[in-house]
Structure formats: C-alpha cells, structure tokens
Amino acid sequence: MQVVDCFPWFAPYGEELLKLRVNLLKDHVDKFIIVESNKTHSGQPVERKFPEVARKLGLPIEKIIYIEHDIPETEDLEILDIDRRNAGNNSKNKESLLARVRERLQKDAVMTGLKDFDKRDVFIYGDADEIIDPKHIHWLARMAHNHPNIIVKIPLVYLQGRADLRIHHQDGRPVIWKRAMFVATKEQIQHCKISNIRCGNIAIPIRFPTNEGVVQEDMGWHFAWMGTSAQRQTKADSFAHAFDSFKWHTEGGYSDYKKFVDSTEPVEGNIAPDSNEDHILKRYPVANLPQKIFDMQDVKDFLLPSVKLDQDYAFNDCSCYWCQKLEWPLMYDLEDNNEKLWFEVPRSCSVTIKESFPLRKQVMRGTRMYNRFIEEKKTPLMIFTDPITRFISLINVYLTEDQRYADYGKDLFNSFGKDIASLSKPEKIELFFTNLNKITSGHQVHHFHPQCRFIDTENFENIKVVLKSEVNDYFDITAMHNVTNKEITLEDFTEEQIDFIKRAYASDYAFLEKYGVKKNGNTKSKRKNG
C-alpha cells in the first residue's frame, strides 16, 4: 500500500504553505500529486511556476507527480448541479458559479495522476492550506485501505489569520474544519470524483476517525488566510469565493470577502473573516503546531508574523556551553535496565534525579537504543513543574547568594545597570518582565524554555507526566538539590504578571491538558492586585 498526498497549488499565494506541507510530510508519504492550473478560480490568467519554485525550495522532486492543468475559456465552461450546490446562496450569481466550475476542474485534475497506482493505494486530499498531522497518517491510511466501503474525513483545527489564532463559536466551543479534507483509496476516488467527495455529494458513507468512540477533532490544521494583508488580498481575488456576497453583522449589511479580509486584522477577540458572524478568534497554543514551522524562518514569518514577547515561541535558542554540548531532548535510562526512562527538564528536579541514580545511562536521540525504545513503545517519565512555580524559582535563582548561581543574577542585573541590593522586591520582579527578551537571549536561556520543549512527543506516543509535587511517589529520593532561597513568592506578583507568565508558557499548559494532568493548585493562591 502506497500513501499519496494530493493538493492544488497557486504560485501567487502559498509558497510558504507548499514548503511546510512537503517538508512536514515527505518522510511519511510515498508520493505527492500537485496540480497547478493556468487560471485562478476567479478566472485570472496565472503563470505556472511550480518546477522553478520547487527547485528554489529544495523540494524532493523525485517524490512529486506534477500536473499542469489547463482550465478552459469561460465560454467553454459547463455548470453542473454540484457547482450550484457549492455556490449555495450565491448560485444565482453567474461569476460565482463559474468560479466553482474552475475550482472543481482543478481539484478533479488530481485524478489524472492516479493511473500508475494500485486500486487500494491510499490518497490524502486537501487544499494547500489543509495539512494533516503526520503522526496520524499511518492509521488513517490503514483505515481507508481496510474499509473501501466508506470515505474517511479528516477533522482539522481551524486557524485563521495567524497560526496562533483559532476560530471559536461565541459560546467558547472551537470550530472544527471537518468536511473538506479526506483520505480514500484510488478505487473510491475514481468512482466518486474528488469534487463530490469534498462536498459530501456521494452515496458512500462518510466516517470520522474515532478513539474509543470519541471523534478525533485535531488531526491536522487548516491554515486559513495566513500571511500579510497583501497576501490575503491576493487569495481573496483568486479563490472560488471571489464573487460571493455574505451577510455580516457589521454596518453595510452585505460585504464581499475582499473588503472584509482587507479591513480585518487577525487579533484575538476579533470576528473571524470566514463568512460567519458567530465566529471569533481565540489564542491557540503554538506548542500544538508542527515543529517544522520554527525550523524554517520564512514559513514562521508567514504563519506567525509580528511575534510578541508574551508568547512561548519568543524564547530564543540558547548558546550556552551546556546547550551546545547537549542535544535536547535528552533521555536517561535511570536504572540501566531499559525500564525506567526519563527526559531531563532543566529546573525541574533534574540535578536531584541524576544524583539519585548514579548508574544512569544517557541515551542520545538517533542512536540505536533510542530508536529501539520508540519501536517498543516505551513510556518515558518526565517531571513537570507548574510553570508559575518554576518561573518564581528561576527568579529566586538569579537573586540567590548561593555561589553556584550568584553570578547569574549579578551579571544580569549589572547588564541592566542595577544593583540588586538597592532594589525592592516589586522592582526586582518588574526587571524580569521588562527585560525577559534580554534574559532569554543570554546565558542559561534553557532554564526559561517551556518544559514541553525538552520532551520528544513526536516519537513517543505515551509519556508519563509526574508533577514535581508528587516526585517521591515515583522516585526513591532522600534529598532535594538545588533548593534556592524563597525571597520571592507567589504573593509578590500582580495579577497582570501572573497572566503574562500563563501566556508565555501557553504551550506548557496545553501539554498538561493534553496529558490529562491537573494543574498545581498553588497557581490559584491569593495574590496582590498591583
């Protein structure tokens, strides 16, 4: 069984998404089928540039089946019932109908690339901005292969404007993008056609993947309306909805996509520009995004423009000796018996654990032993400290008189032109917040990184999360090390400062929620109002 990822693509909008999609999935699929047309869905002529762009981006050409597709002239386009169905309330608008025809023709052009595949080979289809999470590909493909009598739809997280903004209903429920992307066999696609499967106009039953009876709703991402305002405008001018009209709750009554997209900035709390007045944008943890985004600066700038300090991806890479020497995430076989595996997380009992297990064996990523643990589906441990507790501990480390750490704070405060001894506690705390970017771009920045960065969640399906407060239930520890002074406590922080920490470590809180671990109750303690 071969697995193939298929999608249409336009050069004017989506170079970054092309780069992300292919690099994210290339090690998980056998082939790609990419269709590029000579016209946009709105009918504008467009120069085909895929071969040139693919070479520039260094894409694996040997794995790509490229299809040059010609859309007929407008007078030669045939409007079908499916086009009227897709146009919906805009079906009386001839330009909207013709746009749907061009869209249908490009999508169905993927089928010309199926001829050399077996009838039970599996094909993933989605628009260029609909990207499956690679960790789900294998079992979704197996589901489609083993059940040729159904079509499997792939529910996606619906992001819009920025990759850290997710669409929600007004009542707080997240909107799931679930009826577009699908996985099916060659036989199913040839029988039904992609355009019909896409809109659900088929006799074959549609199913959604479930886990113990619960429908999975986060099997990939819909990166809708990403990029700059100019890039969003290019898409609005080009796609199948270019001539549609929508009723908004705003003044004017009716507005087209082009006007709305141009005037709407993707900001948390704003109305989402997705043709539904009930939808608003809320923060989405960037820890749940593919790591590949952060490995490619142009992709990161496209999906996450104007990075703000109070978001977890603002933490810079550390250039200190230890981070250059070690390759995170770092695993240890604590008892040298391949049973008690542990991921080291800085400032979360790491020294205590290592001193308590003198026979521990370091297991580096990519080694034969590490890969064997992955294959055997081992369950490594990690010790997780409440992010707020950990941040307070870090501040105290920088303020301690312990000679092991005193230079941290001394050097830091000297760089700010401040004498530690002359500052009050509120002044010391404020310095950490106003200079967090400087702190995390210097020595020991890995201390400030979100804890989930030190865990290999990509390769290990199961991870045992142990709260620091419960560490003695899992480890035989006689003494805790690296215990610093407690000059700064939770009560010394304002509500605004606590909220700042929560936003900065949004990925850690998402990690806790994902693994079903209750947050430390200390975060709800009484604090000053500032």
Name the nearest CA neighbour of 451 among 493, 390, 496, 402: 390
At 385, the amino acid letter reads: T
The answer on pLDDT for 117 being more than 70 is: yes
Q: Which residues contact 240 (CB under 8 A, 6 or more apart)?
A: 41, 42, 86, 99, 100, 102, 103
- Span 46-59, average pLDDT: 94
- Residue 521: per-residue pLDDT: 39
**CA–CA gap between residue 122 and residue 1 (Å, rounded):** 7
Q: Say which range, 130-134, 364-368, 409-413, has the weakest mean pLDDT.
A: 409-413
CATH of domain 3-224: 3.90.550.10
The tokens describing 41, both together, are 């869905």
Q: Say which range, 12-26, 183-197, 235-249, 344-358, has the weakest mean pLDDT.
A: 235-249
**CA–CA gap between residue 405 and residue 313 (Å, rounded):** 26
- Residue 313: per-residue pLDDT: 46
**CA–CA gap between residue 72 and residue 37 (Å, rounded):** 10
- Span 406-423, average pLDDT: 61
Higher pLDDT, 285 or 257: 285
The answer on pLDDT for 121 being more than 80 is: yes
Name the nearest CA neighbour of 272 among 127, 171, 170, 368: 170
Higher pLDDT, 318 or 42: 42
The tens digit of pLDDT for each residue in 328-381 reads 788 999 888 888 899 999 888 888 888 888 888 989 888 889 999 999 999 999
The tens digit of pLDDT for each residue in 427-468 reads 878 777 766 655 554 445 677 788 888 888 888 878 999 888
- Span 299-305, average pLDDT: 87
- Residue 251: per-residue pLDDT: 41
Q: Does the predicted TM-score (pTM) go above 0.95?
A: no
- Residue 101: per-residue pLDDT: 95
Higher pLDDT, 442 or 128: 128
Q: Is 24 helix (H, G, I), strand (E, B) or coil?
A: helix
Q: Which of 33-42, 292-301, 347-356 has the highest mean pLDDT?
A: 33-42
Please report, rounded to a whole number, the percentage of residues in the chain having pLDDT higher than 70. 79
Q: Which residues contact 288 (CB under 8 A, 6 or more apart)?
A: 157, 218, 507, 510
Q: Which residues contact 435 (CB under 8 A, 6 or more apart)?
A: 416
- Span 137-146, average pLDDT: 90
Determine phi and psi for 28, rounding to 5 degrees. Answer: -120, -10
The answer on pLDDT for 471 being more than 90 is: no
Which residues make beta-bridge pairs with 177? Answer: 156
Name the nearest CA neighbour of 288 among 193, 412, 402, 164: 164
**CA–CA gap between residue 157 and residue 287 (Å, rounded):** 13
Helix or strand (DSSP H, E) at 274 = none
Helix-helix angle 425-434:495-504, to 10 degrees: 30
Round the average pLDDT of the chain to a whole number and report it. 81
- Residue 382: per-residue pLDDT: 92
**CA–CA gap between residue 62 and residue 504 (Å, rounded):** 41
User: Judging by DSSP bridges, how do beta strands 341-343 and 331-333 pair with one another?
Assistant: antiparallel
Please state whether 214 falls in left (phi above 0), alpha (psi between -120 and 50) or beta. Answer: beta
**CA–CA gap between residue 353 and residue 474 (Å, rounded):** 11
If DSSP states are collapsed to H, E and C, what string results for 297-349?
HHHHHHHCCCCCCCCHHHCCCCCCHHHHHCCCCCEEECCCCCCCEEECCCCCC
How is the chain split into domains, by residue range?
3-224, 320-530
- Residue 253: per-residue pLDDT: 39
Please report, rounded to a whole number, the percentage of residues in the chain having pLDDT higher than 90. 32
